[in-house]
Amino acid sequence: MASAAAPATGTAPRGRIDKRQAILDAAFEVFAVRGYAQALVQEIAEQAGVAKPTVYNHLADKETLFRATLTAAADAVMDGNLATLERLRSPGDDLRATMNEVAHELVRSCCDKRSRSLRWLTYAQVARFPDLIEVVQGRTSVRIAEAMADRLARLSLSGHLRPCDPVLAAEQLLALITGPLETRSRLGTRVVTKAEMRTLAEAAVDTFLRAYGPGPAEA
């Protein structure tokens, strides 16, 4: 994945880093397909092209490997979403259009294989690693919600939205965006067409703006 640019001068430690990354990448793929319990360390090692003990040399045990894998994946997923939300800083003339874009992008991200696997793996291991939810959601859902709340607060102050609790508004907007999507995709087991994704994104924005747009009365 990232082993391309390695300069020839990278001696020992570079190889180590590459190997660790290769293991984490392989681990995510295997965990994503099998789930935690069914994933074999053996298979992860093979996928990473290393021997089993090498995995243990880098990551203490299966649980550590799982935590590191999910944490890394959470960071990767978050980066994309936070970038998307940046667009709401300067909504331009047409707020609805901008929000549609953002919503659509979030919908797409939500359907992404990596994102879906991350949510699934997290949810699936609540019983075994309850604290993982805090870690992962703290780096994804919660940060997205906070960033969204920030944007909505600004929009409210600038009169683009009616006065409101920005935290609740953000939660509801995200719920409107992702909720129907999860319903229709049956938690990701059914494919959702591109057209449906766009429709759902626009419907979410429409409902949100009807509820939170500047009221005509207050105008």
Partner DNA sequence: AATGAATGAGCCTTCATTCAT
Partner DNA sequence: CATGAATGAAGGCTCATTCAT
Binding-site ranges for a copy of itself (CB under 8 A) = 33-38, 120, 122-128, 130, 133-134, 137, 141-142, 145, 168, 171-172, 174-176, 178-180, 183-184, 186-189, 203-204, 206-208, 210-212, 216-217
- Give the nearest distance from C-beta 36 to a copy of itself in angstroms: 8
Task: List the beta strands (DSSP E) in the chain.
Answer: none
The C-alpha atoms of residue 120 and residue 110 are separated, in whole angstroms, by 12
Q: Which residues, including other chains, have CB under 8 Å from residue 99's CB and lie 6 or more apart? A: 88, 91, 205, 208, 209
Q: Which residues, including other chains, have CB under 8 Å from residue 151's CB and lie 6 or more apart? A: 85, 88, 89, 170
- Give the nearest distance from C-beta 20 to a copy of itself in angstroms: 21
**Among residues 150 and 171, whose Cβ is nearest to a copy of itself?**
171
Residue numbers 3-22 binding DNA by CB under 7 A: 12-13, 15-16, 19
Do residues 212 and 159 touch, judged by C-beta distance below 8 A? no
Stretch that binds DNA, among 32-40, 96-104, 112-120, 200-208 (CB under 7 A): 32-40
Any idea what DSSP says for residue 213? S
**Among residues 32 and 155, whose Cβ is nearest to DNA?**
32
Query: What number of residues does the chain have?
Result: 219
> Binding pattern to DNA, positions 59-88, x when CB under 7 A?
--xxx-------------------------
**Among residues 60 and 187, whose Cβ is nearest to a copy of itself?**
187
CA separation, residue 94 to residues 27, 102, 105, 120, 216 (Å): 43, 13, 17, 36, 17
Q: Which of 28, 58, 88, 174 is the binder for DNA (CB under 7 A)?
A: 58
